[in-house]
Structure 1
Amino acid sequence: MKQRLRIRINLAAINISFLLNFGAYYSVQGLQSSLNKSIGTQSLSALFVSMTISALILPPIVVPAIGERKSMALGTFAYSIYTIANFYPRPYTLIPGAVILGCGGAILWVALRSYIRAMSVQYSSIDKVDKDTITTHFFGVFLAFMSASLLLGNLISSAVFQSITLPTHEVSSKTNISNLTTQQTWTAKDANVTEPDTEISCGTHNCDYPSLIENARASETELIDSPVLNILFGVFAASQMLGALVQYFVLTDLQSDDQQDKQGGDCVDTKMIASGDAREPSKMQLITKKILATSKLNIFDTVGRLMIPLTFSVGLTEGFVMGQLTRDWMTCYNGIEYVGYAISVFGIGSIIASYGSGLLSYVVSRRTMLLVVLFLDLASALLLLFWEPNMTRDSWLLYVTFGAYGIIYTCRKTLINASYTIFFPGNKEAANSSSTLWMAIGGAVAYVISSTICNRVYIAILMAVSVTGTLLYYVAERIRAESRDQLKREEG
């Protein structure tokens, strides 16, 4: 009874600590493109790159050395470094902070999976229940708290911004468009540029007057130096540090029931055992083996190559929502105080997709669900391309768009992760690494190009990648089905 209670306390501590950490992080991430412009999106790109690279190197070294509990506390503390960097947002503060976060995030997620697995194994031995069932249950509870964190921080940030009177600016060549808090109409005459007297709006018109946009985004804003922002980031950083302290002092160190269960039983090379040498491979050997397996899947496996575009599109979608959609639509049309509400709606769509895709998987094939997601993706993209919003009557439709992208992003991500596991049952570690790798690369590319290309072009690229990726996925499914049928005939 005492051991069961201890495990439940550990699970509660993990959930609360991640709620504290990611409630703050998701809000800070969503504000980057609106507050810090190109510097903010570049830092998020650096975050994705550093997390991708460090995921192959750091976890096999750090987690066994200091244990899961301390690794999670260290990773969570790294998130607070990026939040603190936002007090003085410059390239030499935000980008190093993002790199530190990326390294810490890679350690955090590996340690988390290992810790929850260890809890599940211990709990199953107490209650005499299948450990895979307990693992699924524990992860389900954890994901519910993660979904809540997507709402919590963003609702707080929007409530704080709405509680104060944000400065409204006359639009000029020195005005930062992203700081406008009400719907504005801009003309070339107002901006002191020699363009025709044509209305300049947000959204897909962000490149209509390059001189205005360039000057606007280059200027510093009153909001960045606002004491309110410092208080907000201070609360977020304190929340993340509190999460790290909960992990360090409340959690207890756990051990798996046996060494074979840890890391899926792959700690010892089977060839070494067969030859009578049961020594564990070195950390460098484990890292090299992981990199080679992932590279082999992406280079030499036909199905692995066919999965790349659709997996890549998940990162592109996330980058678009957290970058252009928040900056050039929600902030530009409605104001920065509404960004948190918009991302919260994105989170609600994500929650609906998480549970909905799981339920629908019993009655609808993955191909059918991906086709529906593609149609929703194309409809949302075409709406943004041709829609000229009037915020006095159309603001609700902008929130619907955020919710639609929450469904698109999460449903596609869930189905892709499931497909990698199903397509490569004997090589799950390389499959998981491949899906994480290409999603991260997609996110990094998205944040790099978000400030350099026009939104019309980006949306066109996003649609092309989504369509191509879905078609190639169908080919991958066909190849897998033919291989399975051929194997059955050979066995028969």
Structure 2
Amino acid sequence: MLKNVIVTSVAFMFLFTAFQSMAVLQNSLYPTSDGGLGTWSLSTVYVGLIIGSLLLPTFIINRVTIKYTIFVAMFGYVLYICGQFYPEFYTLVPAAFITGLCASCLWSAKCTYLTILGHEYGRLTGQDSEVVIVRFFGIFFFFFQSASVWGNLISSLVLGSGQSKEGNDPEICGVNYCPSTDLKNATLNKDDDDDKTTLYVLAGIYLGCAVAAAIIIFTLLDPLHRYGEKKREGSPVELILATAKQMKHPYQILLIPLTIWSGMEQGFWGADFTAVNT
């Protein structure tokens, strides 16, 4: 069981080393002054995630099992990274929406998988299942959060190897960045063949990481049927009603401001803070 926790954690580390690192570069690669493709694509991911969370997880998990839901959903992220090789609104935005739909299934399946493992491990060892589940999620997020470290190291190495002769201008970077700033001299300008090569190298590395994550899940993760995986009953309509009912719970209401704040924080980091001109 512990092996499966590690396998899941390492696979997600590979996947989000790719996705998170590519996501934080979107507004620099495709700035607001150039149509805002980066911001639109990231926004579309979460639109798909919201819609998918209400309609898809139970339906998909019941039909392909938890393990293969995780495996298949990872290819939504692969599709998004593939979109970086030909970044246009008609390629990247639809890919982002599909990524969001897949993300809703991925996270539901992952949480279900770790929860079932925790209950079973607690039963076999005589430990409190809630304590075991928290421990398993702690292990998972140790690996998951490290993805930002590895991803940023990769981005730094790749982008640093092709620095523009223009150099950095701190007056229009980070907190001083303005969406109306002309970024035509940016390192990753789409019209510059050398800079396209840099983008392709970066996207290729991240694509390899995402595919590696799917391979890890497919080859190393044990199906849950050996631990008594059961189908969850309920139609999408029943799931929506259950979600609405849950929103009345006092604890859930108290979590809403934290969730909104977290979303705004991620939007700031993904769209504003990381917007640079190099």
Q: Give me the TM-score of the superposition, normalised by structure 2.
A: 0.86
2:41 is the counterpart of 1:43: yes
Q: What is the aligned partner in structure 2 of residue 321 from structure 1?
A: 269
Tell me how far 1:97 sits from its aligned partner: 1.1
Q: Deviations over 1:266-303 (max 9, x none)?
A: x5xxxxxxxxxxxxx5x42xx223312433565x7898
- CA distance in 2 between counterparts of 1:230 and 1:70 reads 29
Say if 2:55 and 2:239, in contact at 8 Å, map to a contact too. no
2:9 to 9, 15, 18: 15
- CA distance in 1 between counterparts of 2:252 and 2:134 reads 26
Alpha-carbon distance change, 302 to 158 in structure 1, aligned in 2, over 3 angstroms = same
Q: What is the aligned partner in structure 1 of residue 103 from structure 2?
A: 105
Q: Deviations over 1:342-368 (max 9, x none)?
A: xxxxxxxxxxxxxxxxxxxxxxxxxxx
Tell me how far 1:226 sits from its aligned partner: 2.1
2:224 to 245, 254, 274: 254
Q: What is the aligned partner in structure 2 of residue 414 from structure 1?
A: none
- CA distance in 2 between counterparts of 1:147 and 1:221 reads 34
% same residue: 27
Alpha-carbon distance change, 148 to 304 in structure 1, aligned in 2, over 3 angstroms = closer
Q: What letter corresponds to residue 266 of structure 2 in structure 1?
A: E
1:131 to 129, 132, 136: 129
Unmatched tracts of structure 1, length 5 or more: 1-6, 169-180, 186-200, 268-280, 336-492
Tell me how far 1:322 sits from its aligned partner: 1.1
Q: What is the aligned partner in structure 2 of residue 31 from structure 1?
A: 25
2:241 is the counterpart of 1:292: yes
Q: What letter corresponds to residue 17 of structure 2 in structure 1?
A: G
2:72 is the counterpart of 1:86: no
Tell me how far 1:215 sits from its aligned partner: 8.2
Q: What letter corresponds to residue 32 of structure 1 in structure 2?
A: Q
Say if 1:223 and 1:229, in contact at 8 Å, map to a contact too. no
Quick one: higher RCO (CA 8 Å, sep 6+), 1 or 2?
2
Alpha-carbon distance change, 159 to 105 in structure 1, aligned in 2, over 3 angstroms = same
- CA distance in 2 between counterparts of 1:309 and 1:216 reads 40
What does 1:88-487 correspond to in 2, within 5 Å?
Answer: 88-168=86-166, 181-183=167-169, 201=172, 203-204=175-176, 206=178, 213=182, 220-222=190-192, 225-255=195-225, 267=232, 281=233, 283-284=234-235, 287-296=236-245, 308=256, 311-327=259-275, 331-332=276-277, 335=278
- CA distance in 2 between counterparts of 1:135 and 1:86 reads 37
Q: What letter corresponds to residue 239 of structure 2 in structure 1?
A: K
Unmatched tracts of structure 2, length 5 or more: none
Tell me how far 1:228 sits from its aligned partner: 2.1
- CA distance in 1 between counterparts of 2:178 and 2:225 reads 54
Tell me how far 1:165 sits from its aligned partner: 3.1
Alpha-carbon distance change, 16 to 292 in structure 1, aligned in 2, over 3 angstroms = same
Q: Deviations over 1:297-332 (max 9, x none)?
A: 65x7898778655532321221111111111xxx23
Structure number, greater radius of gyration: 1
Q: Deviations over 1:96-137 (max 9, x none)?
A: 111111111111111111111222233223322222221111
Match of 2:56, SS? Answer: helix
How many residue pairs get matched?
A: 271
- CA distance in 1 between counterparts of 2:224 and 2:256 reads 37
Q: Give me the TM-score of the superposition, normalised by structure 1.
A: 0.50
Say if 1:54 and 1:103, in contact at 8 Å, map to a contact too. yes
Q: What letter corresponds to residue 325 of structure 1 in structure 2?
A: F
RMSD of aligned alpha carbons: 2.9
Say if 1:13 and 1:247, in contact at 8 Å, map to a contact too. yes
Q: Which moved more, 1:118-127 or 1:17-26?
A: 118-127
2:36 is the counterpart of 1:64: no
Match of 1:86, SS? Answer: helix
- CA distance in 1 between counterparts of 2:256 and 2:129 reads 32
